[in-house]
Amino acid sequence: MKKFMGVMLVVLVLLSSTLFAGGSKEAENVDGAVRISYLSRYTNPEVPRHKFFLDKLDEFRALNPDIIVEDVSIAEADSYKSTLRASVAAGTTPTLFICSDAFPHLEWAESGVMSDLTPIIESPDWEGPTDPAVFESFAFESLPGIYGVPNGVVNSPVYVNTKLLQEYGLETPETWEEVFEMADVLNEADPEIIPFSLSAKTTSDLGRFFSELVVRMYGLEFRDRFVRHEIKWTDPEMIHALEVFKDMIDSGIFGEYPISFDTDYNVAQFGEGKIAMLFSATWFWDRFNSFDFADDIDCVNFPYFESNPENKDIWFATTSEGFCISAPVGSPEYEAAGKLLNFMLSKQTFEDYANEIAMGGVYPLDIDFDVSKTSNPMRTFMEGYATRSATTDIIGTYMNSSDVLNITNTELQTLFIGADVETVAENLQALYDELFQQ
């Protein structure tokens, strides 16, 4: 076994969106037992990643008969989001729950929806991540404490079917100019092949894509100026970014009607050899590793523009999704949820997942991993990410508002159904003005 150092490098994320809804499973009543509820995204035992964590939950139950865990997990993204919001509004928040950047971290921490996890993390029994940088999305200058533990570091690379490209005499594009050249060849040879697939129906994928596009065009300094509201949607630079994106949509490189494609559909289409390049978050390593042509799948960074090579080595990375506890600090439910949190995010769990399911990965803590097991998609991802010059999250996540992501992504979707660039820019700026009271 070789030691693989993974502190604050990108990780294949541990959660996924599937079309299977979660059910509830409880242990039998035990005298003096503490009852907690658990909202994760693992529900389908047919998916290796899900089965791994479902088995982990059963293992925890067997080791802790005095803790009754009601599993209320939901895999489908929109149902999960609406259910969690409804439970918070009703005061019935699950004891241990997944919280992404779609929710107001600071607001929920201030209101007590998310309890301070510092006592758990600083406990001598803690076996999970400890690097302070890991907790940036769950720690706030205005409020002492740590209010969530990231379940991973999410990346959004591009998966490439090199076998398909080679059939048509093509190499993997590195720039957007080369992507368009590739698309011309593929569209002429077989119009059913999607050159570069974007899951526009999945708003999180759409938001990451547009953020990466803007950063490739203008860099991180521009991103920061936009976050400070020094750049508006109606300014020439953002109008141009929207025009470039609209041109991509109209050119057909995303396929016909990409607004109807969600992430699960596109991953399945990629597995059937119908997509040349797929933009997706690192949630599906088990599926990519299981494809018949896995040895021909390369995982590369988002394409850059020939006019802006200085931005080519910026990679997407975020730690804004993680587990939180709603029970009051010191309560029996808090202590029980802390034990489950520690178990699910322990070094041993990460190591088991890396060796048994993901066949690789880079994690937010040091793990022991047999490098010889690394699959080609995972290996090319880790090699590429190691060359990064900087990282970026979705631009909206830097604005400290849970509403900004939904507002932005929903409006961007209208570009796929005929909205013009100027109208989208004006609508977004008006929404931002209202949201941030400019």
Phi and psi (nearest 5°) for 90? -90, -5
Distance CA 126, CA 338 (A): 9
Q: Predicted confidence band at 27 (pLDDT cuts at 50, 70, 90)?
A: very low
Q: Which of 156, 100, 130 is nearest to 8 (CA)?
A: 130
Distance CA 2, CA 127 (A): 20
Q: Is the pLDDT of residue 16 over 70?
A: no
Residues 37-59 have a mean pLDDT of 94
Residue whose tokens read 């009754």:
68
Residue type, 36: I
Candidate from 319-323, 355-359, 417-421 with smallest mean pLDDT:
355-359
Q: Is the pLDDT of residue 24 over 70?
A: no
User: What's the DSSP call for residue 27?
Assistant: P
Neighbours of 190 (CB within 10 A): 12
Candidate from 98-102, 304-308, 414-418, 430-434 with smallest mean pLDDT:
98-102
Q: Which tokens go with 356?
A: 């048994």
Distance CA 277, CA 279 (A): 7
Q: What is the pLDDT of residue 175?
A: 98
Q: What is the pLDDT of residue 29?
A: 55
pLDDT digits (tens, 9 = 90+) for 77-128: 789 989 999 999 999 999 999 998 888 899 999 999 999 999 999 999 999 9
Residues 350-373 have a mean pLDDT of 82
Q: What is the pLDDT of residue 158?
A: 97
- Percent of the chain predicted with pLDDT > 70: 93
Q: Predicted confidence band at 5 (pLDDT cuts at 50, 70, 90)?
A: very low
Q: What is the pLDDT of residue 356?
A: 87
Q: What is the pLDDT of residue 102?
A: 82
| Contact between 197 and 279 (Cβ < 8 Å) | yes
Distance CA 375, CA 358 (A): 8
pLDDT digits (tens, 9 = 90+) for 140-164: 989 999 999 998 878 999 999 999 9
Long-range Cβ contact pairs of 359-363 (< 8 A, separation 24 or more)? 359/285, 359/289, 360/12, 360/285, 361/6, 361/11, 361/12, 361/285, 362/4, 362/6, 362/9, 362/10, 362/11, 362/153, 363/6, 363/9, 363/11, 363/152, 363/153
Phi-psi region of 42 (alpha: psi -120 to 50; beta: other; left: phi over 0): beta
pLDDT digits (tens, 9 = 90+) for 179-220: 999 999 999 999 999 999 999 998 889 999 999 999 999 999
Distance CA 72, CA 54 (A): 12
Q: What is the pTM of this model?
A: 0.81
Q: Is the pLDDT of residue 173 over 90?
A: yes
Q: Predicted confidence band at 294 (pLDDT cuts at 50, 70, 90)?
A: very high
Distance CA 371, CA 380 (A): 13
Q: What is the pLDDT of residue 20?
A: 30
Q: What count of Cα atoms within 13 Å lies in the side-chain half-sphere of residue 115?
A: 21
Q: Predicted confidence band at 47 (pLDDT cuts at 50, 70, 90)?
A: confident
Q: What is the pLDDT of residue 22?
A: 38
Q: Which tokens go with 48?
A: 């290796």
Q: Is the pLDDT of residue 43 over 50?
A: yes
Q: What is the pLDDT of residue 362?
A: 72
Candidate from 14-28, 204-218, 378-392 with smallest mean pLDDT:
14-28
Q: Predicted confidence band at 14 (pLDDT cuts at 50, 70, 90)?
A: very low
Q: Predicted confidence band at 7 (pLDDT cuts at 50, 70, 90)?
A: very low
- Output 304 or 373, whichever has higher pLDDT: 304
pLDDT digits (tens, 9 = 90+) for 391-405: 999 999 888 777 898
Residues 284-289 have a mean pLDDT of 86
User: What's the DSSP call for residue 22?
Assistant: P
Average pLDDT of the residues of the chain: 90
Cα-based distances in Å from 230 to 19, 211, 237, 272, 438: 40, 17, 12, 45, 11
Q: Which residues partner with 323 through β-bridges?
A: 98, 149
Distance CA 377, CA 332 (A): 43
